[in-house]
């Protein structure tokens, strides 16, 4: 079990989703994600409406920028005027420093890579920026199971036009949780439509709590099993 401590709370088994993973279910393609299995933090007894979850997602989802748009990120915590943003390592690898964060109010903040945590092989990275503005940060939920309703958010990018779509929020369900994580920690799949540029955005439960970090959009599956762009296969 992998343990990562983040300030006053602990995330256990923080796991990412596979890039381009598809499950062999008719007319069903999967996206995937990093997820947590910690104890609930201020978890409400009943779920929120989709509109309420969308508002929470809007408040905590940011754009990661370099010389161009790289992907999405999550406002994870605040310590004084310092904000921590969680994203995928491959999002930062697509560009180079200096990095910038665009917050929901469209302000641009200079950011630096945080070295306070070592994620090892996991496809995770953190940035920090300073601001006197008060922004909402994510609350952490419990591990989800197959069949649970989930929501994802982020900023899709048009690769051919090098432009970024508006904030996108989609609904789906978890349909795959592998017992053993794949390369870079990828382990969970869901039915939400996930597009390029949404990597690093949040996966939320019905309480609007963070249970994962988006990976990349799905690709057609191979008849012999699950296949993703690295060419690695997972067979049933």
Question: Tens of pLDDT along 179-210?
Answer: 776 666 667 788 888 888 888 999 899 999 99
CA–CA distance, 115 with 131 (Å, rounded to integer): 19
For residue 188, the cross-strand partners are: 33, 177
The residue ranges of every structural domain in the chain are 1-217
**Residue 71: strand pairing partners:** 64
Q: Is this model's pTM higher than 0.85 or not?
A: no
Q: Give the per-residue pLDDT at 9.
A: 40
- In three-state secondary structure terms, 166 is coil
Q: What is 1-217's CATH number, 2.40.10.120, 2.60.40.420, 3.40.50.300, 3.40.50.360?
A: 2.40.10.120
pLDDT digits (tens, 9 = 90+) for 46-94: 679 999 999 999 999 999 999 889 999 999 999 999 999 999 998 998 8
Residue 37 has what DSSP assignment? -
What pLDDT, on the 0 to 100 scale, is given for residue 73? 95
H helix or E strand, kind and range, residue 85 = strand 82-87
């Amino acid at each position: 079990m992998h343990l990562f401590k983040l300030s006053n709370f602990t995330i256990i088994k923080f796991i990412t989703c596979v890039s381009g993973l598809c499950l062999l279910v008719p007319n069903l393609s999967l996206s995937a994600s990093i997820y947590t299995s910690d104890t609930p933090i201020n978890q409400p007894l009943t779920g929120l409406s989709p509109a309420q979850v969308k508002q929470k997602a809007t408040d905590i989802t940011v754009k990661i920028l370099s010389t161009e748009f790289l992907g999405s990120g999550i406002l994870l915590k605040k310590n004084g005027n310092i904000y921590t943003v969680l994203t995928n390592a491959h999002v930062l690898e697509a560009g180079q420093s200096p990095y910038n964060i665009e917050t929901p109010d469209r302000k641009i903040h200079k950011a630096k890579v945080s070295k306070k945590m070592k994620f090892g092989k996991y496809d995770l990275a953190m940035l920090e920026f300073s601001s006197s503005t008060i922004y909402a940060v994510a609350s952490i939920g419990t591990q989800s199971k197959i069949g649970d309703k989930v929501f994802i958010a982020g900023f899709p990018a048009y690769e051919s036009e090098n432009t970024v779509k508006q904030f996108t929020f989609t609904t789906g369900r978890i349909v795959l949780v592998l017992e053993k994580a794949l390369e870079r920690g990828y382990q969970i799949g869901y039915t939400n439509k996930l597009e390029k540029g949404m990597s690093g955005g949040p996966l939320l439960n019905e309480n609007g709590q963070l249970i994962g970090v988006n990976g990349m959009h799905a690709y057609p599956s191979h008849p012999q099993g699950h296949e993703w762009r690295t060419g690695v296969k997972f067979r049933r």
